[in-house]
Structure 1
Amino acid sequence: MPGQSAQLRARLPARRRRRRPASCCGSTPSRRHRDGDRRWGRGTPLYAGDCPYAVLRPRPQFVDWEQLKGLLTFVRNLDELRILGRTAPNGTRVIVLPEQEPPTQ
């Protein structure tokens, strides 16, 4: 099963996850809603190929930083950054997404 290999890689220790195979490099990140659970801090995991790459807007009360070690974390605004920053270990890479104007009709 192709989804099973991604689940196994997500359970690997962070030092082994950083050594992603070449097949993961250069691919477009994608999201998979069916994977959103507590291991992702109730956020949405983003994948590059079959490898976990980042987590979109994890909830601070559910985050286990050992499981998210080595992954990018995207937040919506500076308030979310401050809340996550209280518990995040040093070296955690957090990116604040820019505000976008709502589409006009």
Structure 2
Amino acid sequence: MPANQVLPHPEIADVTLTGVLFALSDPARLQIVRDLADGPLEMAQCGATNPALPKSTKSHLMKVLREAGVIRNEPRGRERLVSLRREELDTAFPGLLDSVLASAH
């Protein structure tokens, strides 16, 4: 996938609680969300706690999170910037991310 390709992101009105919970149910995806809790990262920096993760697996994890509406994955020059859709998710599902992130530690 070219770095400048724009990926589809669901509108927050189309994001479901069950979809978000499914996306957060996998430990590797949850780690990515933890990594993004402090702010956006370049795609290469996400999952830095597991550098042995194959690129194809990492791409799939990101796709599940993006399609569930948990993250944004947008082109930034030759790289991709990944960010948590925190404000939107907090509005749609108040307290959910705080609870998930607090219990994940």
TM-score with structure 1 length normalisation? 0.26
For the pair shown, which has the larger CA radius of gyration, 1 or 2?
1
Higher helix share: 2
TM-score with structure 2 length normalisation? 0.26
- Identify the structure with bigger relative contact order (alpha carbons < 8 Å, sequence gap 6+): 2
